[in-house]
């Protein structure tokens, strides 16, 4: 049995439990990485070895981050577990699990901006204000993900309580044909589509429901951001998107390009956009904000998730606490 045959059986099961954006990413990973490496094998008679699995991981890491490599391999492991459990390929789970276990510790460290570097981002907003730069500052000061801030409209602002209500996320969905698009719209996973092409193999820019139930949240706005938004409000329709100041949203890749150019212009380290979210969380924790509040601001499913990601900040707090109690001891 070829890998494509296994995927044809597994994907209809997998897609029932994930959002359209996740499914689109998996299809892209299958097409670009998994099938080119393992697609030609007859898996009934040709066992994939541990060495081959590790070589596949090394190949992924040549062009992708450790985290992205782990994500692709983790999905491959899911497929192989299914192949053993349901299709009777006895070796499948054993080999991939050994490599997956080795990979678990390979995720990249959390990257964030220092206080000085974050200050440079604020200076950019003061000196060269624009809707896209404002979106970057909103992410920095609320921890919003790039898709969430791109999806933010003026009507999502609670002007009385100075809150930004996260109600969706903007994503470019890969290989979404007309029938799939109609199905997802009917299911409620996709709220709105901005690219009307129904051609199979194309991509669709879609406003989707939040990543998790906790991702739908109200984020307090700092006074400076609220003041700018209030000034912009008089010039726009409430349906306009904040990052574009228009009826059509600013696509995440466009905002990411603007962000990359801003970092270069200000001489800042080339951290990815998600570092803004990490910076927000890290600074809150370092200022003594409790973990439950940080989790609520970020929209994490539980404080345990926050602790797992930001253990570096928690370690600093633990050091301070122990030094406060036992720091006076001398030998």
C-alpha dihedral sign at 6, 12, 18, 20: positive
Averaging pLDDT over each range in 48-62, 195-209, 231-245, which range is the top one? 231-245
Q: Are residues 284 and 238 in the same domain?
A: no
Q: Are residues 240 and 158 in the same domain?
A: yes
Mean pLDDT of the region 49-76? 83
Q: Are residues 133 and 261 in the same domain?
A: yes
Mean pLDDT of the region 185-207? 64
Closest listed residue to residue 148, CA positions, set 160, 136, 130, 133: 136
The answer to whether the beta carbons of residues 255 and 273 sit under 8 Å apart is yes
Domain of 177 in residue numbering reads as: 115-272
Alpha helix stretches (DSSP H) within the chain: 3-14, 20-29, 35-38, 50-63, 66-87, 92-103, 115-127, 131-142, 146-151, 178-187, 223-233, 252-266, 274-286, 291-298, 303-309, 311-326
Domain end (from 272, 295, 313)? 272
- CA geometry: angle at 61 spanning 58 and 65, to 5°? 155
Q: From residue 14, how far is each of 19, 74, 140, 179 by CA, in Å? A: 10, 13, 34, 18
Residue 331 domain flag: no
Q: Are residues 120 and 230 in the same domain?
A: yes
Domain total of the chain:
3
List 174's β-bridge partners, or say none.
203
Q: Are residues 205 and 60 in the same domain?
A: no
Q: Are residues 14 and 153 in the same domain?
A: no
Q: Are residues 197 and 221 in the same domain?
A: yes
Model confidence over 126-149: pLDDT tens digits? 999 999 999 999 999 999 999 999
Q: Are residues 134 and 53 in the same domain?
A: no
Mean pLDDT of the region 45-50? 80
Q: Are residues 227 and 192 in the same domain?
A: yes
The answer to whether the beta carbons of residues 152 and 242 sit under 8 Å apart is yes
Q: Are residues 220 and 158 in the same domain?
A: yes
Q: Tokens 């706005």 — which residue? A: 221
Q: What percent of the chain has pLDDT over 70?
A: 84
Mean pLDDT of the region 212-236? 93
Model confidence over 74-111: pLDDT tens digits? 899 889 888 888 888 877 666 666 565 555 554 556 88
pLDDT higher than 60, residue 197: no
Note the pTM of the prediction, 2 decimals. 0.74
Residue 281 domain flag: yes
pLDDT higher than 70, residue 122: yes
Q: Are residues 26 and 57 in the same domain?
A: yes
Residue 144 domain flag: yes
Interatomic CA distance for residues 213 and 208, integer angstroms: 13
C-beta atoms surrounding 124 within 10 Å: 19
Average pLDDT over the chain, rounded to an integer: 84
Q: Are residues 254 and 122 in the same domain?
A: yes
């Amino acid at each position: 049995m070829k890998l494509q045959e296994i995927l044809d059986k597994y994907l209809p099961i997998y897609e029932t439990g994930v959002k359209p954006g996740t499914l689109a990413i998996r299809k892209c990973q299958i097409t670009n990485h998994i099938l080119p490496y393992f697609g030609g094998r007859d898996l009934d008679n040709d066992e994939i070895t541990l060495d081959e699995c590790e070589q596949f991981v090394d190949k992924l890491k040549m062009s992708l981050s450790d985290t992205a490599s782990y994500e692709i391999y983790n999905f491959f492991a899911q497929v192989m577990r299914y192949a053993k459990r349901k299709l009777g390929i006895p070796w499948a789970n054993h080999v991939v699990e050994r490599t997956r276990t080795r990979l678990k510790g390979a995720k990249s460290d959390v990257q964030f901006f220092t206080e000085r570097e974050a200050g440079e981002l604020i200076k950019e907003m003061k000196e060269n204000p624009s809707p896209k730069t404002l979106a970057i500052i909103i992410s920095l000061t609320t921890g919003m993900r790039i898709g969430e801030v791109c999806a933010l409209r003026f009507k999502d602002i609670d002007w009385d309580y100075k809150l930004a209500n996260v109600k969706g996320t903007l994503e470019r969905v890969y290989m979404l044909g007309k029938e799939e698009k109609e199905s997802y719209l009917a299911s409620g996973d996709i709220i709105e589509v901005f690219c009307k092409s129904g051609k199979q193999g194309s991509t669709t820019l879609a406003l989707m429901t939040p990543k998790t139930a906790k991702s739908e949240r109200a984020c307090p706005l700092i006074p400076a951001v609220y003041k700018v938004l209030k000034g912009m409000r008089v010039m726009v329709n409430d349906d306009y998107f904040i990052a574009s100041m228009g009826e059509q949203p600013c696509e995440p890749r466009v905002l990411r390009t603007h962000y990359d150019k801003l970092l270069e212009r200000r001489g800042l380290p080339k951290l990815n956009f998600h570092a803004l979210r990490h910076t927000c969380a890290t600074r809150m924790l370092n200022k003594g904000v409790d973990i439950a509040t940080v989790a609520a601001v970020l929209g994490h499913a539980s404080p345990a998730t926050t602790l797992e990601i930001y253990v570096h900040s928690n370690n600093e707090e633990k050091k301070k606490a122990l030094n406060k109690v036992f720091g006076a001891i001398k030998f």
